[in-house]
Structure 1
């Protein structure tokens, strides 16, 4: 990396937060492409319908804790092309589905042919009661990057449109305060961190849109005690990890400091634990079923394989779930039952 903030080269360097905002959400941004995120990477939503079924069960639990209100909201943050919203509606029992108001929150245009029951919005609706679910949304909230220079100072990393980087000015003010509290950088030159303050603020705003209910964020994450020494900023294109280049050609993402986002009464657990509590396990069906009902055995074996992928250590099972209650007791059965399934 060049240590000086010179202005030569392909495009003036700017902070990663500004560059990512334009690359992902600008007029020609990655998330406005016709194929959407599913054309480039596979999330839990795309891995198996079991995921949406588990989210539907969670919505039913929220409905029960709330006393079965006349209308209950399902808010899908970072909805992509509405895949999760559509699948959750299909998985709900009739009595709940009849009362659900579904919102897909996405900055891209509404896709053609989406279920007319889904309200498409650029920001979460205010004052609703129900479940707000953010699957791999926070990792795409743009953040700035800090790097320690040769003198041991944390400086902003600037980037040009072709992905080349230079060091900018020292990190100061609220960003420095966030690093001091949540990501203590080593003094070794080259140590890096993603400054997660914009994600804390984005999550707080999303949670504040709920009058009562539960907000859930699901993402690859790390804890204060074990932050990665060089950060996690990366890109994805056509299903493969690639260099993060802010020209709109690839996704730009970084793992989330979910512990910094968590508010009072929140629970943090792995996806393996959360889905296990919601009935998704990778256990194989009994062999006796193969002789009794071969077709049912094959279906059960398929479900077990999909469940295993969703909960696999070292893969999707390592996603972290942040559950934030709003206007309901943190000790409600909804949270206790899920948290009790966390691994030691």
Structure 2
């Protein structure tokens, strides 16, 4: 096997996803390669719109209310939230899509940008964004913990140098490796990315939604994976597939608090969405006789709710919600279901 260069995974992921010929720079959309909550059903956006209403109330109905979608993809979430929002709220809403890929045509009043706004007041949501923030992979070898190097063309690996002092400190606190062969994904860049969101939030709520794990249940061999055309594929960082890893959202939460968050909750998507009204309850059968059209619509909603809250699927996502100078919306503090 001819290897032209060995690089750390963080470098390889950065190039493969966001480089000049990277997966997302080419305009690939997540919905083309894996099923997201946003594209599974507009009911997800309806739940976000309910949260937006709560945030607006807590802020005292400001003349300008920001809605920032981080990793916006095609902008479907913003489009659907705008469709759900009440006219009075929509008139004050300033939707911003943060996306590195070329953006499609959409509502004229949506602002598209490649980086976070310097300051905003309202609601920020990052749905499956942090899992694509590049990071390094380390492994405990007989010679100690080593940063893994990867051949971008094949995905082959070999041990490299010791982690930096900053990475070692993060690992010691959040993902200690005890046995030879144990691996970890160093989430420090994701913590920094989430902290940047909270620092720019003046007042309001920020939510990160991702497959996640906590210190008590880190996977011993990591979660690095590739996705292409709806299937899991080897994580080869050559730009041909999405390369992703689950997120240490408990570590991100602490970074958010350092950045000024005044309240924090970690919950599941199932619990959050059910508290926001997506119960998946089937409509009463007698509705089919009284209003057949309403019955069919309610039945469709029940099926979509069930998919969004399925604990073995989309409902298994973790929500990290952090507010700044407002209370957390009550649905986000509901007990687990």
Q: TM-score range by the shorter chain?
A: over 0.9
* Deviation of the 1:286 alpha carbon: 0.8
Query: Which residue does 1:218 correspond to in 2?
Result: 209
Aligned residue number for residue 278 of structure 2: 280
Q: Secondary structure at the match of 1:170?
A: coil
SS at match of 1:102: strand
SS in 2 for 1:169: coil
Alignment of 1:1-344 (within 5 A): 9-111=2-104, 113-151=105-143, 153-161=144-152, 162-186=154-178, 188-262=179-253, 263-264=256-257, 265-328=263-326, 332=327, 334-343=328-337
Runs of 4+ in structure 1 deviating by more than 4 angstroms, as ranges, are none
Distance 1:34 1:18 in 2: 20
TM-score, L = length of structure 1:
0.93
- Residues 276 and 341, structure 1, Cα contact 8 Å, conserved in 2: no
Cα offsets for 1:221-250 (capped at 9, x unmatched): 001101000000000000101110111100
Q: How many residues align?
A: 329
Tell me by how many angstroms 1:298 deviates.
1.2
Give the conservation status (yes or no) of the 8 Å contact 2:272–2:331.
no
- List per-residue Cα deviations over 1:93-132 (Å, max 9, x = no partner): 1010000001000111222x21111100111112211001
The answer for unaligned runs of 5 or more in structure 1 is 1-7
Corresponding position of 1:4: none
- Other structure's SS at 1:154 match: strand
- What is the CA–CA distance in structure 1 between the aligned matches of 2:332 and 2:21, rounded to whole Å? 41
1:126 counterpart SS class? coil
TM-score, structure 2 as length reference: 0.95
Quote the Cα distance in structure 2 between the aligned partners of 1:185 and 1:11: 30
Contact persistence 1:196–1:256 (CA under 8 A):
yes
Q: Aligned equivalents of 1:293 and 1:11: distance in 2? A: 66
State the shift of 1:87 in Å.
1.1
**Separation of aligned partners in 2, 1:294 and 1:71:** 41
Cα RMSD (Å) of the superposition? 1.2
Q: CA deviation at 1:35?
A: 4.2
Q: C-alpha offsets along residues 259-311 of structure 1, whole Å, 9 cap, x if unaligned?
A: 00103421000001111121111111111111222221111111100000000
1:341 Cα shift? 3.6
- 3-state SS of paired residue (1:31): coil
Distance 2:335 2:45 in 1: 19
What is the alpha-carbon distance in structure 1 between the residues aligned to residue 57 and residue 24 of structure 2? Answer: 35
